Amino acid sequence: MKLERERDGRGRECGRRNVSNGAEVLSWIDALPPDVRAAVLGKMQGQRVPAGAVIMERYAPVRGLYRIVKGKVRLFSLSPDGREFLYKVYAPPENLGDLAAIDGEPYPLSAEALTDCELLFLSRKDLTELRRTYPQIETALLEFFVKVARSSLLFIEEASIFPLSARIASRLSFLASSAKARGEPMTELKVAQKDIGVMVGASRQAVNKVLADFQSLGLIETQYGAVRILDREGLMQQSLRFSSSPAENTPKHHP
């Protein structure tokens, strides 16, 4: 995978983009033709936020979207009783707040900087004007969010019917794929067991037991604050074996 540092029309670094033909993109901005991408990036304003800063707050009025240039950001929500759901940890060149910037509704999730971050901000007003000017943006948005919708359906299925071991295997595979798309080693996942538990809705103790089982099978190796993938194919099979065809899911009636 070939990555190159990307700069906007004013010479500012705005992340890295994948320049391999047919490769997966992590932001709809990177799927745009070069001239349209430059127009979008040229409208964005640079921001620096320290670790621990809240970038977006759930249910807050939308201002616009953010593109991560440097650093890592966690996207999460809190239940009324204080329980946390960690959706994902985002890194360059991913975006935050796209959906709200498109439909004008409040932000659906909160975002907090895990490290000192450099961001680019695009207001909803500027995004709307760009969409009117460049029809290619509509195509890029549609194609990107169709993929997001498919992933969301899989997450719903996992949360509803998969046992904990399959949910953890699926989430580790997802994190590995995301790392690969960013040009990072997909075998070295910097994720704590506590965070895995928040992602799949389980206690740290329950996650620890499943990871120990995976380690005994030679699928992973646990490290402090990280998980090393040894057999990604075998890990994927831990979740895929719980997925079945529609015919297999049809209830069988017995006399």
Regarding pTM above 0.75, the answer is: no
Which of 128-137, 159-168, 228-237 has the largest mean confidence?
128-137
CA distances from 81 to 40, 60, 108 (A): 40, 19, 18
* Per-residue pLDDT band at 127 (split at 50, 70, 90): very high
Give which of 77, 74, 96 is closest to 191, Cα–Cα.
74
Beta bridge pairs of residue 16: 5
**Separation CA 24–CA 44 (nearest Å):** 23
Domain boundaries, the chain: 3-147, 162-243
Average pLDDT for the chain: 84
Nearest 5°: the CA angle 54, 58, 62 is: 90
Q: Which fold, 162-243?
A: Arc Repressor Mutant, subunit A (1.10.10)
Please give the structure tokens belonging to residue 106: 């409040």
pLDDT computed for residue 110 by the predictor: 96
pLDDT computed for residue 24 by the predictor: 59
Beta bridge pairs of residue 45: 121
DSSP tag of 19: -
* Per-residue pLDDT band at 190 (split at 50, 70, 90): confident
* Per-residue pLDDT band at 214 (split at 50, 70, 90): very high
What is the tens place of the pLDDT at every residue in 14-40?
554 443 333 456 899 999 999 999 999
Instruction: Flag whether pLDDT at 250 surpasses 50.
Output: no
Strand order in the sheet with 110-113: 54-56, 110-113, 73-78, 84-90
By the 8 A CB rule, do 136 and 36 touch?
yes
Instruction: Flag whether pLDDT at 246 surpasses 60.
Output: no
**Separation CA 188–CA 36 (nearest Å):** 35
pLDDT computed for residue 242 by the predictor: 66
By the 8 A CB rule, do 41 and 120 touch?
yes
Q: Which fold, 3-147?
A: Jelly Rolls (2.60.120)
Instruction: Flag whether pLDDT at 149 surpasses 90.
Output: no
**104-116 mean pLDDT:** 95
**Separation CA 160–CA 156 (nearest Å):** 6
Of 63 and 188, the structure prediction assigns the larger pLDDT to 63
